[in-house]
């Protein structure tokens, strides 16, 4: 039985939320992100995109391209509230859904045509309900797989919908740019373009073995996606509210240097797990248990982030404010809570392009060579902290020289 997969995406979500707060922003080029010249664009309106502006672009360049644009720092708390509202509507009506980011959803509605007139009609009614209750524009694609539905949503935007029936996947994808296929990033796109491949149709007509020879296993996956073949399931969404780690010492200690180095390693590891799980935190908690078993915690609310330097500074500040007894410590712990889904979009509010690229490079090295491949000097001597990633269920990579 063919699957029926619905993909929904809130259009220019951050901008749409801001326009609900201030109607004067309607029909104007809007930039959201770091407001200084060192900041970057987190999101932009369609009016701004007409000037060649896109997310992750340096704000200074965006202002040069469109001097009349309205620049807003953004409010991640507001966006989370609107996202939660949409999530609740989908949760009420959909039998199985996956929230893949703060503004993007997949639903498996296979077999629902037995209970409603047709899946396409049900999807349109759900979209209308979301727009009526939230006043946010939203687009959707409906097809037999996640890939085709997601591409369909992109083609339907802005604020529209499309249905790709079973058997229509290949002709629908054929005339599109190869860059429209998920997994085809800038590097892969340029490699394919150097081979003369511009449209999906060309990949559809190529032997899969050739794509695999050029791009390895990714080539095989991209070839299948180009054919509309994608058996990736919709994973039932359960919101994880927090992530934490603790260390109980074999011998109680008052070695502050050691304690601070462990806290840094804890925060660094948890931040890496957040980024791998496309999560952000807005609340940091530090826990201390003394040798007499008295336990104390202290927490602080912060702007949504998943970047080491912000989280480490907050953890150390909380520890310094709390550790006043100078009594032997038995256990320390760190917890990040108030988690929301989000990629680099939200994280761009506070951070420069240079800093974001640094974290992307660091995470690339960790993903390839193991999470201890890049560590701060203060945490070099700390034993490995954490195991399986709590968001994607993946075990940490162990480099070959350590597997022997």
DSSP character for 233? P
103 annotated ligand-binding residue: yes
317 assigned ligand-binding residue: no
Q: Are 318 and 270 in contact (CB under 8 A)?
A: no
Residue 136: name the closest of 210, 192, 85, 74 by CA: 85
How far is the C-alpha of 58 from the C-alpha of 22, rounded, in Å?
Answer: 25
Residue that is written with structure tokens 């796109």 in the block: 189
Q: How far apart are CA 159 and CA 312, in angstroms?
A: 40
Q: Nearest Cα to 13, choosing from 28, 32, 29?
A: 32
Q: Concatenated DSSP letters for 185-206? A: -HHHHHHHHHTT--BHHHHHHS
Q: What are the C-alpha distances in Å from 61 to residues 36, 50, 343?
A: 11, 14, 22
Catalytic residues: 104
Gap between the Cα atoms of 288 and 332, Å rounded: 5
The string of DSSP letters for 44-69 reads: E-HHHHTTT--TTSBHHHHHHH-TTP
Residue ranges for the known binding site for Mg(2+) are 9, 103
Residue ranges for the known binding site are 9, 103
């Amino acid at each position: 039985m063919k699957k029926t997969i619905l993909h929904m995406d809130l259009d220019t979500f951050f901008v749409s939320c801001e326009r609900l707060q201030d109607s004067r922003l309607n029909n104007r080029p809007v930039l959201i992100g770091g407001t200084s010249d060192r900041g970057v664009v987190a999101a932009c309106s369609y009016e701004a995109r007409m000037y060649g502006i896109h997310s992750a672009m340096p704000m200074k360049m965006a202002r040069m391209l469109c001097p009349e644009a309205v620049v807003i720092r953004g409010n991640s708390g507001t966006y989370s509230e609107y996202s939660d509202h949409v999530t609740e509507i989908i949760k009420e009506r959909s039998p199985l859904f996956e929230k893949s980011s703060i503004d993007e959803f997949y639903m498996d509605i296979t077999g629902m045509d037995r209970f409603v007139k047709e899946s396409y009609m049900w999807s349109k009614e759900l979209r209308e309900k979301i727009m009526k209750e939230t006043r946010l524009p939203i687009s959707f694609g409906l097809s037999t797989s996640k890939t085709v539905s997601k591409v369909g949503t992109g083609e339907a935007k802005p604020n529209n919908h499309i249905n790709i029936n079973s058997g229509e996947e290949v002709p629908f994808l054929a005339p599109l740019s190869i860059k429209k296929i998920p997994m085809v990033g800038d590097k892969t796109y340029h490699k394919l373009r150097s081979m003369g491949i511009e449209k999906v149709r060309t990949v559809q007509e190529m032997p899969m073995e050739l794509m695999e020879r050029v791009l390895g296993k990714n080539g095989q996956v991209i070839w299948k996606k180009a054919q509309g073949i994608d058996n990736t399931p919709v994973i039932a969404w359960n919101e994880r509210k927090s992530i934490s780690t603790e260390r109980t010492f074999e011998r109680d200690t008052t070695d502050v240097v050691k304690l601070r180095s462990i806290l840094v390693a804890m925060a660094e590891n948890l931040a890496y797990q957040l980024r791998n799980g496309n999560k952000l935190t807005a609340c940091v908690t530090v826990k201390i248990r003394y040798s007499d078993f008295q336990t104390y915690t202290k927490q602080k609310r912060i702007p949504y982030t998943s970047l080491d330097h912000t989280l480490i500074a907050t953890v150390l500040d909380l520890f310094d404010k709390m550790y006043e007894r100078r009594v032997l410590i038995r256990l320390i712990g760190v917890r990040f809570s108030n988690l929301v889904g989000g990629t680099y979009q939200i994280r761009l509010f506070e951070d420069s392009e240079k800093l974001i690229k640094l974290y992307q490079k660091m995470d690339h090295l960790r993903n390839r060579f193991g999470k201890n491949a890049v560590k701060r000097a203060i945490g070099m001597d700390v034993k490995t902290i954490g195991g399986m990633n709590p968001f994607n269920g993946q075990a940490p990579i162990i480099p070959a020289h350590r597997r022997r």
